[in-house]
Amino acid sequence: MDIDQLLDELPEDDSVSTLTLDADIVPSGPCCEKCAAPLSAHESLVCQQCGWYASIGSYVEIDRSWEVATDPELATEADAGPAPSAKLPAWAWILACCIVGVIVESVAVRLITADGGGLRTLWSLSQLFIGFVAFTFCHTLCFLQVMKNEADIKMLDYLLRPIKTWSISFRGMPDRGWVCYVGLSGLTAAAMSLLVIGGIPYERLLDWNVEKKAKFNLMGAILDQAQGNAEDDDKSLEEAVSDFAGQAELDDNKKKKPSKKVRQKVDCIIIGYMTNQAGEIRTLLLAAEHYSKLRYAGNVQVTGLPVEDLQTLTKKLVASQTYKPFVRISIDEATWVKPKHLVRVSYKRRGKQGGLFGAKLEDLLGEVNLGSQ
């Protein structure tokens, strides 16, 4: 069959086929003269599709992010971007494993080591030191990096706003992730050392062997006595004893049950001591301030004083012996010392002449320097 026969078989129809466009798809209103995209009222100057700027007869660049931010109605599915994933990134898992590992290690050390043992103390102090150094080093690196990229970071933020520094660093993860891993692991290690492991001897760390100071009025009385301003009060042993007992007599018919009183404390200076048959110091002879004058206050036993402190005090007293008492008093078998060593004693009550009743040694206060005395 040839082409002529095919043409003869076609029906003869003089009608003309036409294509009618639906009225709803015909664009109405202003359109872009380049891409025929419809233009809204605020888009009449620049086409948002192709960027044609009819007024200047040229194309301009369209920033979609800025356009969407100023007018959210222009946002499309493409502008929305991919939906955020609910999965944690790999760097977050690594960071969590580091922190959990430090916590597990700290709990294990707490359970394994003995309470109050040297191993726990050594481990805790070592972990505290290493963790603090690691966190400080990484915090410094983060701060320097943030300060280089951020204009509103100040030097005081290093100490006052550390969270801001680390929050900015986390935005750049996983770049330089090791800084965050090591820094937060060190911070966790230091915290676990203090809160979980324990064993740190705080009483030793805070004991700087700082000797307590004597009260000011006692020092003034000592200086007055050293300068010869005190009264020339030459007493015998019997007179000294009378200070305690002479004015303490009570009528037997008028005795009452004594009420319990709070013991008071006073600072005294050692002017001498007495030893036992073995040559060990057992009694200290004291002087104290009484009405702005330095008076003989009696003696006190050294019982209850730690052996180490007693040995140290003995060496000091032996090295500061003198031939006469600093306060004029006569007591047999007493060894006199220079007024250098201060103590604090408690007592039940005080006599009119300054004698202390029921004196008990409380603490050693150190030494004073009176020049040539």
Straight-line distance from the first to the last Cα atom of the chain, in angstroms, rounded to the nearest whole number: 148
**Residues 99-121 pLDDT 10s:** 999 999 999 999 999 887 889 99
Task: Tell whether 235 is covered by a domain.
Answer: yes
Same domain flag for 360 and 226: yes
pTM over 0.75: no
Range of the structural domain that residue 168 is part of: 90-206
**For residue range 46-93, what is the model confidence (pLDDT) as tens digits?**
777 787 777 777 877 776 666 666 666 655 655 555 555 668 888 899
Look at residue 128 and tell me whether its pLDDT is greater than 90: yes
84-93, 100-109, 200-209, 243-252: which range is least confident on average?
A: 243-252
What CA–CA distance (Å, rounded) separates 285 from 324? 13
Q: How many of the other CB atoms lie within 10 Å of CB of 205? A: 9
Does residue 351 sit within a domain? yes
Asked whether residue 220 falls in the same domain as residue 192, the answer is no
Is 189 a domain residue? yes
Q: How many domains, in total, are found in the chain? A: 3
How remote is the C-alpha of 214 from its chain's centroid?
Answer: 31
* CA gap 361, 281 in Å, rounded: 14
The answer to the question of residue 19 being in a domain is no
As a whole-number percent, the residues of the chain with pLDDT over 90 amount to 18
> Which residues are 224's β-sheet partners?
none
Asked if residue 373 is part of any domain, the answer here is no
- Asked if residue 21 is part of any domain, the answer here is no
Domain shared by 228 and 139, yes or no: no
Let me know whether 199 and 141 are in one domain.
Answer: yes
Same domain, 107 and 239: no
Residues 224 and 350 in one domain: yes
CB 198 within 8 A of CB 121: no
Residue 327 falls inside a structural domain:
yes
pLDDT in tens, 214-241: 555 566 666 666 656 444 544 444 454 4
